Amino acid sequence: MEKATIPAEAAAAAQEKEEEEEEEEEDTVWAWSWGAGTDGQLGNGGFQDHHLPQPLLFPPRCRGRVSFVAGGGAHAIALTSDGEVFTWGRGTHGQLGHGDVENIPHPKFVKFLENYTITCVSAGWNHSGFVTDSGQLFMCGDGSFGQLGSGDNHPRNLPFEVVHFATKHVEKLAFGMRHSLVLLKDNSVYGFGSARRGQIGRCARNQKFYNVPRLVDGFPNCNIENIYANGDHSAALDESGQLYIWGRALIGEHDDDQPRPVFPSLSISQMALGWHHALVLSAGKLYTIGAYRHQKLDPLVLPSAEPAQQLDPPTTSHNHDGSPFHLWLYHVISNTRIKFLGTCN
């Protein structure tokens, strides 16, 4: 710190203040993690499971600036308010983007992206994506299902720019287990990766995957504002609050390879997808879709006997205070189990 021009008394006061701040800083934790930790995905420096929230070990310079955390199969990506990116956890497929395949038990700055301002990140089972403020898309990790959109099925251990979007403006990402969804500024949705359950839209028969991004059709006259993915499920929300779901069936056995509007009577503000269920927030009420078989959900939640294509608003709902943070947290607890995703704003 520069102190040369400060008078001695003021300097002492400043130093005292600084010490107070430092003390405060040390006591302040900004993000926590819990659950499975054997690949270092808790980011607390260890490789152990934890039942209780553990403070994430961020380097001091990024404390207080973490704005978002994405959790993958056993790795995680943190985004700071300055557009910097940190990754940790399992690195076996290069998904941490550090140029190697090491597991790292604490958040590590992704140096490759230091000259870019990142605005959105997403983590799939073993792959990662980063969007820059100018709309470029960078990817790394496992590509065996074409989920990197690179035109081949090779893994990458450093982020590379997806050339398919070089002339387009990427805005948001949502990655599932083996697939990737991309939302452009012009509101179009692209998908690539595993196509087995219809999760990247309508495909040729017997086509198991696509390694080149393709347009997801089926949003007539509407502007998609957000996209979601998890497991083999995909979803999109338009500006009027209409939700579309496709991919592996959340209820029943009939997968859907094109976006299907659900809950037409609800105006939906937010949703979250798990591996076997979805949560939907509308006018302060939380709705769920999916089976109760894993006993992860609130006992109020009941599976619907209706096939997915005939989804009506569920008969049970859970009153909720409408706080997105709580929804997020709920999503975290019920869905990921392994990772954390609790960020504190």
Which SS3 state, helix, strand or coil, does residue 309 take?
Answer: helix
Whole-number Å distance between alpha carbons of 142 and 146: 8
CA distances from 247 to 58, 95, 177, 279 (A): 36, 24, 12, 16
Pairing of strands 270-273, 224-230: unpaired
Residues sharing a CB contact under 8 Å with residue 185, sequence separation 6 or more, in sequence order:
135, 168, 169, 170, 171
- Residue 61, sorted as left (phi over 0), alpha (psi -120 to 50) or beta, turns out to be alpha
Q: Indicate the Cα dihedral angle 224, 124, 67, 82, nearest 10°.
A: -90
292-300's contacts with Cβ under 8 Å and 24+ in sequence apart are: 296/334, 296/335, 296/337, 297/334
**x/- contact string, 64-83, with another protein (CB under 8 A)?**
---------xx---------
In the window 11-40, what residues touch another protein (CB under 8 A)?
36, 38-39
DSSP, res 165? G
Q: Are 80 and 109 in contact (CB under 8 A)?
A: no
In the window 224-283, what residues touch another protein (CB under 8 A)?
275-276
CB-nearer residue toward another protein: 41 or 242: 41
Taking CB under 8 A as the binding criterion, the range among 6-14, 78-86, 87-95, 306-314 that sits at the site for another protein is 87-95
Which SS3 state, helix, strand or coil, does residue 308 take?
Answer: helix
Q: How far is the CB of 275 from another protein (least distance, A)?
A: 6
**x/- contact string, 197-226, with another protein (CB under 8 A)?**
-----------x------------------
Q: How far is the CB of 73 from another protein (least distance, A)?
A: 6
156 counts as binding another protein under rule CB under 8 A: yes
Tell me which amino acid residue 328 is: W
Tell me which amino acid residue 261 is: P
- Given candidates 86, 93, 250, 262, which one binds another protein under the rule CB under 8 A? 93
101 counts as binding another protein under rule CB under 8 A: yes
Taking CB under 8 A as the binding criterion, the range among 128-136, 212-220, 311-319, 332-340 that sits at the site for another protein is 332-340
CB-nearer residue toward another protein: 41 or 270: 41
Q: Name the token pair of 130.
A: 């980063």
Whole-number Å distance between alpha carbons of 104 and 89: 5
Give just the sign of the alpha carbon dihedral 258, 267, 172, 38: negative
Whole-number Å distance between alpha carbons of 290 and 255: 13
Taking CB under 8 A as the binding criterion, the range among 157-165, 210-218, 297-305, 317-325 that sits at the site for another protein is 157-165
Which has the closest alpha carbon to 175: 128, 113, 225, 119? 128
106 counts as binding another protein under rule CB under 8 A: no
94 counts as binding another protein under rule CB under 8 A: yes
CB-nearer residue toward another protein: 172 or 179: 179
CB-nearer residue toward another protein: 224 or 301: 301
CB-nearer residue toward another protein: 17 or 294: 294
The length of the chain is 345
Q: How far is the CB of 221 from another protein (least distance, A)?
A: 35
291 counts as binding another protein under rule CB under 8 A: no
Q: How far is the CB of 291 from another protein (least distance, A)?
A: 11
Taking CB under 8 A as the binding criterion, the range among 52-60, 154-162, 264-272, 308-316 that sits at the site for another protein is 154-162
Q: How far is the CB of 1 from another protein (least distance, A)?
A: 36
CB-nearer residue toward another protein: 75 or 168: 75
Q: How far is the CB of 94 from another protein (least distance, A)?
A: 4
User: Interface with another protein by CB under 8 A: which residues?
Assistant: 36, 38-39, 41, 73-74, 90, 93-94, 99, 101, 125, 144, 153-158, 160, 177, 196, 208, 275-276, 293-294, 336-339
